[in-house]
Amino acid sequence: MLKNDEMMDFIFDKMPLGVIVYNEKINIIYSNVRGKLFLKRYEPPVEFTTLSRKIFDAIEAESLIKIFPGEIYLTKKLEGSSGKWTFKFEICENPGPYVCIFAREDSVADRLNLNDIRRQFELTRRETDVLRRTLSGLKNAEVAEDLNISEQTVKDYLSEVYFKSGVKNKFELVSLILNFPQQEDTLKITEFIRKATRT
């Protein structure tokens, strides 16, 4: 049976959000797996530290609700990112105080019905896991780290996806997937696949 700390570590490491926690000294004291991946790939936006400092100052001045009466969100396109990021700031006063930032990227994969794509191309669930991360802009090494598999295994899965979808490389794969009909109309999907595999 999992202990509470083990359960919390499991939940935080599996959640599809990056979690980054700042203390009053504006030091990062915690980040989950996705938070670490985010920090490895991107320079944290300057707003992380400026907003955190303002929050801690408001707590110290006992005017948090007055200065920040509602939820605190930041939406930003980061250099090198395939989509916009949404950051939600949560304040933990006890124990603490801490500022917790929940980070989520609006990726291409989130806008697609990958279950339809998986069924149509007869992809395995693991191949679909690799495809989802590839469409989200992760490099092979990052996909490997995220799925806890070797980079060679990622390449092997991608080769299978290329073969099953009738493409030769990532560029063709992304182009094919982005133009995939997002409808329940099986006839249109089948017709689309026939045309795509003829070229």
pLDDT tens digits along 151-167: 999 999 999 999 999 99
Question: Distance between CA atoms of 152 and 144, rounded to whole angstroms?
Answer: 8
Structure confidence by residue, pLDDT tens digits, 22-63: 999 999 999 998 899 899 889 999 999 999 999 999 999 998
Task: Quote the percentage of the chain above a pLDDT of 90.
Answer: 45
Helix and strand counts by DSSP (H, E) for the chain:
10, 5
Nearest in space to 127 (alpha carbons), one of 166, 163, 83, 169: 163
CB 117 within 8 A of CB 186: no
Whole-number Å distance between alpha carbons of 86 and 67: 21
Q: How large is the average pLDDT for residues 60-88?
A: 88
Q: What domains lie within the chain, and their CATH numbers?
A: 4-105 (3.30.450.20), 108-198 (1.10.10)
Structure tokens at 118: 């998986």
Q: How many CB atoms lie within 10 A of CB 98?
A: 19
Range name among 87-91, 148-152, 173-177 with the lowest pLDDT average: 173-177
pLDDT of residue 195: 54
- For residue 194, the model assigns a pLDDT of 53
- Separation CA 88–CA 78 (nearest Å): 16
